[in-house]
Structure 1
Amino acid sequence: MKAERLLLIHPIGVGLSSRFWDRFITCWRASDNTTALLAPDLLGCGGSEHPNQQLAPEDWAAHLIDLLKEHNNAPAVLVSQGASLPIALAVLETAPELVSGLVAISPPSWRILEEPFPKMQSQLLWRLLFQGPIGSLFYRYARRRAFLKSFSINNLFANHKDVDSEWLDTLGQEAANMTTRWATFSFLAGFWRRNWTKQWQDIKQPIWLLFGLKATGIGRSKNWDDAQERIHAYAQQLPNAVSASIDGRNVLPYESTDACVTQLQSWLLHQETASSRFKPQFDPASRL
């Protein structure tokens, strides 16, 4: 399969960084070693800078846009995971010329993407909870291996046996730096939550959606949509988007890696065949 570069946008949370894509990249390279795979750490995560400030999708997007410009301004297919989707939408809104397609893996509920979160509530959470000693204690608690395992089983993986040592070790290592908490707290405070309907409507590039057949919302709310409701909602709102479903829940590039890679490569090949949109790239696959 020949495709142009992919920009992999990892999710944000305790211990999450570009290492989320390690299995995906390894699997991809087994069948394609020519496509450029860009997997940067988002601002506040992994080896990136960790500013003590509120971060919104535009902040994360700005660094990704700079990265794409550094690579000869060549357009990329944005590949978002979970609730990092608004970051991809922010890149599209600001620099559509740098984007040739949008892939949303395990996208959040459509309701989450169209219902804004009260700004005052976000500010209160940030000032009164996350910036104080309670926030520090919470992060120390949340990065414990026992909590990470429980959360992953209850919210992320379809099969609890897939919550393995590699996953837990990586999260623990990445969360050891306490300054990574600011990105996580920005996400938990809801600074990414707003009505993204207009951004969706303005997209001219091809869109591909991948859902887990056991997809759920994060948390204990009884109002979360199930997988079929989510798939139906996106089909209604984005009739021109192509979608697929595979076994898994909410972290498909990690828990269902082979199927995730195969499905995405198939869609890209179809796009190339149908419209010649994707031109060959001979850059070596890279991880930043």
Structure 2
Amino acid sequence: MAGTTSAEQQLLLIHPIGVGLSSRFWDRFGACWQSGNNTAELLTPDLLGCGTAPCPARPLTPEEWAEPLIHLLRERNNGPAVLVSQGASLPIALAVAAKAPEMVSALVAISPPAWLVLKQEFPQRRARWLWRLLFGGLIGNLFYRYARRRKFLDAFSRKNLFAQPEAVDQEWLEMLNQGSRAMDTRWAVYSFLAGFWRRDWEPLLTGLKIPVQIIFGTKATGIGSSKNWDDLNERLSTYKEQLPNASISTIPGRNVLPYESTEECVNSVREWLAAL
């Protein structure tokens, strides 16, 4: 069910899941948004297992991440929201739209996964095996301590997230450092890494009856095992073929556009919403 969109529309920003990531990911985007003539309200909750949200010590799914977001929208009772997802948090937005379509007026997907990643089923038996034997025990505890080290976060960000290595600044690293101090935040990260979000999301995405905007970075790449599927031109072509009615564009940057290319990202979303 499509809602109405206007300059007064509220935006629900869904942050990515990773070591140290939380709603603070949107700080730059929010500051830039509020500095302009943007009257739409930004909602920036922490997802389960991240930031100040509860951190259940069990595998989490997109539907479980979606539930508190739906509760927030219903509790506020301010009408439908534009969902703005970053990276592989797109399935969480799709879960919100599927479970509470009356609460969603439009979708903005920033740096979504390659289409093949988005639609390919990941064996849930393997996900449970990874959780039980790798992530849920001592190995998982030790690995998280290693992964939250500043040196690792710096190297990973330069290699996988930012177009310009020098854009990996102290603000970014300190945000990740603070966000990963609580060891319980590993459960959300490991739920993601184990693949509990990986299933065929194509029917939900192509079946949307609301306006959709897709934004890619001009230097977009895949991360980890998906890198062989992430040629930008192929990704653009596939998304345009699968979502012929969506607005699909590129802006400078790589994989964390709201942080790396904040002004361009804000302007792209703002102008698209204004044209609806």
TM-score by length of 1: 0.92
Q: Please state if 1:17 is matched with 2:27.
A: no
Structure 1 window deviating more from structure 2 (123-132 vs 26-35): it is: 26-35
Unpaired segments of 5 or more residues in structure 2? 1-5
C-alpha separation in 1, matches of 2:42 and 2:265: 15
Q: Please state if 1:68 is matched with 2:70.
A: no
> Which residue in the other structure is 2:207 paired with?
202
* 1:98-125 superposed Cα distances (whole Å, 9 cap, x missing partner): 0000000001000011101011110000
> Which residue in the other structure is 1:231 paired with?
236
* 1:152-172 superposed Cα distances (whole Å, 9 cap, x missing partner): 000000000100000000000
User: Among 99, 104, 113, which residue is 1:108 paired with?
Assistant: 113
> Which residue in the other structure is 1:251 paired with?
256
* 1:182-230 superposed Cα distances (whole Å, 9 cap, x missing partner): 0000000000000011111321000000000010000266523221111
C-alpha separation in 2, matches of 1:262 and 1:69: 28
> Which residue in the other structure is 1:146 paired with?
151
- Structure 1 residues 260 and 117, CA, compared in 2 at 3 Å: closer, same or farther? same
Q: Aligned to 1:88, what secondary structure does the other structure show? A: helix
- Which structure's relative contact order is higher, taking Cα pairs within 8 Å and 6+ residues apart? 1
Q: Please state if 1:39 is matched with 2:44.
A: yes
Q: Please state if 1:81 is matched with 2:86.
A: yes
C-alpha separation in 2, matches of 1:32 and 1:202: 33
* 1:56-106 superposed Cα distances (whole Å, 9 cap, x missing partner): 000000110000001115100000000000000000110000000000000
* 1:231-273 superposed Cα distances (whole Å, 9 cap, x missing partner): 11100111111111011000000000000001110000000xx
C-alpha separation in 2, matches of 1:227 and 1:98: 32
Shift of 1:34: 2.7
Contact 2:221 2:255 in 1 (8 A): yes
Q: Structure 2 matches for 1:46-65, cutoff 5 A?
A: 46-65=51-70
C-alpha separation in 2, matches of 1:167 and 1:156: 11
Contact 1:73 1:98 in 2 (8 A): no
C-alpha separation in 2, matches of 1:222 and 1:51: 31
User: Among 166, 174, 189, which residue is 1:169 paired with?
Assistant: 174
Contact 2:38 2:270 in 1 (8 A): no
C-alpha separation in 2, matches of 1:155 and 1:185: 18
C-alpha separation in 2, matches of 1:222 and 1:253: 21
Contact 2:90 2:109 in 1 (8 A): yes
C-alpha separation in 1, matches of 2:55 and 2:10: 27
Contact 2:7 2:38 in 1 (8 A): no
Q: Aligned to 1:223, what secondary structure does the other structure show? A: helix
C-alpha separation in 2, matches of 1:244 and 1:18: 24
C-alpha separation in 1, matches of 2:10 and 2:220: 28
Contact 2:12 2:82 in 1 (8 A): yes
> Which residue in the other structure is 2:3 paired with?
none
2:72 partner letter? L
CA RMSD of aligned residues (A): 1.1
Q: Structure 2 matches for 1:270-281, cutoff 5 A?
A: 270-271=275-276
Q: How many residue pairs align between the two structures?
A: 271
> Which residue in the other structure is 2:192 paired with?
187
